[in-house]
Amino acid sequence: MFQDKEQLEQVIDQHVGKRLKHRRLFLGLTRQNLADAIGVSIQQVHKYETAANRISSSKLYNVATFLKVPVNYFFERMELAGLVSSSSLAEEADEYEAQHISEREVSKLVQNYVRIKSSHLRKGVLDLLNAMSAQEFNNSNFDDLHDSQVEDFS
């Protein structure tokens, strides 16, 4: 549990800052892009992202509009129903980081795919991805089937 109201507020500010940074990076934007869009300095964006400064509701609305997400996006995954414990916050942070990495990979994949000018090459990349994912799916289904058959004979 949180010691006091200030500690809870800091945790919320950190969560909002992480979500802001995550969305900015996911869209491939720089701090400068965001700063220009909402009328603040790059340093101020950095302070929002690190929770050194609290973002006002009107600025948060502007950020959400620019990043094309609803305002509640910044509060998603906050399980504050009964004031979450610090251990559950650590678990949530680990889960967030794991998802952040995969979303970053997806973002880079899409950014690089869009840069391919040749429709023939884009189709080739798509065909390759489809073949690879189908192979991965078939292998995992085979492993599951094989494991269940082995268990039947045990």
CA angle 116–122–124, rounded 5-degree value: 135
- 122-152 pLDDT, tens digit per residue, is 999 999 988 988 887 777 655 554 454 444 4
pLDDT computed for residue 41 by the predictor: 97
Q: What is the signed CA dihedral for 8, 14, 16, 20, rounded to 10 degrees?
A: 180
CATH superfamily of 5-88: lambda repressor-like DNA-binding domains (1.10.260.40)
pTM strictly above 0.85: no
Q: What's phi and psi for 85, nearest 5 deg?
A: -80, 160
Percent of the chain at pLDDT exceeding 70:
73
CA angle 44–45–49, rounded 5-degree value: 115
- 68-106 pLDDT, tens digit per residue, is 999 988 988 776 533 345 455 556 556 666 666 677 787
Residue predicted with more confidence, 103 or 51:
51
Domain boundaries of the chain, sorted by first residue: 5-88
Q: How confident is the model at residue 3 (pLDDT cuts 50, 70, 90)?
A: low
d(CA 113, CA 135): 21
Q: What is the mean pLDDT of residues 115-128?
A: 93
